[in-house]
Amino acid sequence: MSTQVALLNASYEPLGSVSFKHAVRMLFRGVATVEQGQDDRMIGPHPWPDVIRLVRYVVTKWLYREAAWSRQNLLRRDNHTCAYCGGRAATVDHVLPASRGGLWEWANTVAACEPCNSRKGDRTPVEAGMPLRFRPFVPTRAQLAAIG
């Protein structure tokens, strides 16, 4: 049994995901329909849901607000890709090191692999001779939801 079911707005734009249990409740309340499911498995009159779509459109202005900074969201924003070498990233690096007053914020943090993070150390990318492959940006909630 899948633990998450993708949720679409009535306009087919992705809204994120809900638990399987919540999806089933939405189907039986009539607020959603199965958009993509497993026809060989049924839950009452509904196919087993993989993707559900809301029956009525929900205004999503909140999705376009700035996303909250977290390590998980940062790695998602950068697609687990090192900002220095392009390899698989698992750590967070400060562009301006925290020891020099660099803040834990979107514009000052990037995903980095362990070797690049260690090599850069307590220096800026310019001082370390390690240019950034992309510029850090502040993502919206919708951008993070679309990534995964």
CATH number assigned to the domain comprising residue 95? 1.10.30
Q: Work out the number of other CB atoms within 10 angstroms of the CB of residue 3.
A: 8
Query: CA–CA separation, 133 vs 2, rounded Å?
Result: 36
Are 83 and 54 part of one and the same domain? no
For 4, phi and psi rounded to 5 degrees? -125, 145
Are 80 and 130 part of one and the same domain? yes
Task: Calculate what percentage of the chain has a pLDDT beyond 90.
Answer: 82
Query: CA–CA separation, 61 vs 117, rounded Å?
Result: 36
What are the tens digits of pLDDT across the range 83-130? 999 999 999 999 999 999 999 999 999 999 999 999 999 999 999 999
Query: CA–CA separation, 136 vs 83, rounded Å?
Result: 9
User: Looking at the predicted structure, is the pLDDT value of residue 1 above 70?
Assistant: no
Are 72 and 143 part of one and the same domain? yes
Q: Residue 47 in contact with residue 63, Cβ under 8 Å?
A: no
Residues shown for the chain: 148
Are 103 and 135 part of one and the same domain? yes
How many folded domains does the chain comprise?
2
Query: CA–CA separation, 24 vs 8, rounded Å?
Result: 15
Tell me if the pTM is above 0.85.
Answer: no
- Compute the mean pLDDT over every residue in the chain, rounded to the nearest whole number: 93
Are 74 and 143 part of one and the same domain? yes
Can you give the residue range of the structural domain that contains 38?
Answer: 4-58
Are 106 and 74 part of one and the same domain? yes
Are 79 and 129 part of one and the same domain? yes
Are 53 and 104 part of one and the same domain? no
Are 71 and 143 part of one and the same domain? yes
Are 54 and 97 part of one and the same domain? no
Are 133 and 81 part of one and the same domain? yes
